[in-house]
Amino acid sequence: MEIENKKSEILSFLNAGSLFNNEGGIYAWLSNDNGPSFLYSEISGYFLTLTSFLYSVGDLNEDDPAFKQAHKTCNWLLNSMLTENGSFIDRVTHNELGSRTFFFDDFMIIQGLLNYSSQIEDKELTEKTLVLLKKLSLFWRDDEDYNSLKNLKGENLDSQETWSTTVGPHHLKGVLPLLKAYHLTKDPFYKEEAYRLKDFILKNFLKDGLLESEAGSIHSHPLLYALEGMITFYNEFPEEDLKKLILVNFKSLSSKIIKGSIPRYKKEGEMNHSPRLDIYFQYLRVESLINHLDIAKLECKKKMIIENIEEYYNKDSYLFGADGLGKDINHRTSWINFMALQYYASLDKDKSLLLRYLV
């Protein structure tokens, strides 16, 4: 199928509103059996960034349902999900509020709010979001250390259960709202916090030049989050050492692609190629940005990769892929379709807009 057709179809799927809750939240996925899943705060932040991007490249206008939903999403996040400590409750399941907040989720929500408020030129919302970002920057670190997960009282719940419940390379994407805030205000606080976060992650999770999510293992999803953060940082502050790290880590992942299949993770020397499609569209966007910034001139693997995941395209949207054991997961996942739509919409557009509004 032509890529232009996919872009149009996924955009129609988005505007159809099946991922939208009337209160403003965005559902994590749609299941063929059980309908919509939980409302996901992190992904609602991504949605604000996506709509800002689509509006900036001319693929969305003010009359489109997705643009109108963005206003509701913004209000839902600030009025229903915001805690007293400035952090955002992670989800709502069957009208029941979640009990946890995440560093990563908070920073992706702030990124969405900053992008949205800047796009509609709402200075009051921008200022409110900047105040929240300062508060969260201090809330999530203890002196030089960082936390990943807390309860609603602000007590640390970090655990080694999975890479997402502890501090790791994926937190490097947290520099995006900090650099956005610095770009908007030139307040040195945001620049210093971006450097602090970057330096902490690189100091603690680099082994032989590669970013590890767990000792001896590299997970592609958080690694690509880290690369998104490093590329955004490099765009603002081009440092040669950072450029080398970007290339070493990206080329290491790229070298493990087999006939368009991107590995899910490498653990104790073993490769797992069970597909999860967010990895694929993260990879394609990162590849595009590395070429755009002249970090390197990479051979584009777009055709091979997209053909490899064609079986997971269902009429107008992508399915998740499979679990770690290779069993298909057939729900239509919101953030995967956000990333896919952004990638397809960016192909013939100014890549600086992709950098500005990276989902």
For residues 188 and 133, what is the distance between their CA atoms, to the nearest angstrom?
13
Closest CA to 18 of 4, 37, 3: 37
Q: Which of 281, 283, 228 is nearest to 257 (CA)?
A: 283
What are the pLDDT tens digits along the chain (359 aa)?
577 799 999 999 999 999 999 999 999 999 977 678 999 999 999 999 999 999 999 999 999 999 999 999 999 999 999 999 999 999 999 999 999 999 999 999 999 999 999 999 999 999 999 999 999 999 999 888 999 999 999 999 998 888 999 999 999 999 999 999 999 999 999 999 999 999 999 999 999 999 998 877 899 999 999 999 999 999 999 999 999 999 999 999 999 999 999 999 998 889 999 999 999 999 999 999 999 999 999 988 999 999 999 999 999 999 999 999 999 999 999 999 999 999 999 998 989 999 999 99
**CATH T-level topology, domain 3-356:** Glycosyltransferase (1.50.10)
Cα separation of 105 and 144, whole Å?
20
88 within 8 A of 81, measured Cβ to Cβ: yes
pTM for the model: 0.97
- The greatest distance separating any two alpha carbons of the chain, rounded to the nearest whole angstrom, comes to 52
Using a 10 angstrom Cβ sphere, with 0-12 exposed, 13-18 middle and 19 or more buried, the burial of residue 137 is buried
321 contacts: CB under 8 Å, gap ≥ 6: 274, 275, 276, 277, 309, 312, 328, 329
CA–CA separation, 175 vs 165, rounded Å?
A: 19
Range list of H helices, the chain: 3-16, 41-56, 65-76, 103-119, 123-139, 175-185, 188-205, 220-236, 240-254, 277-292, 302-308, 334-346, 351-356
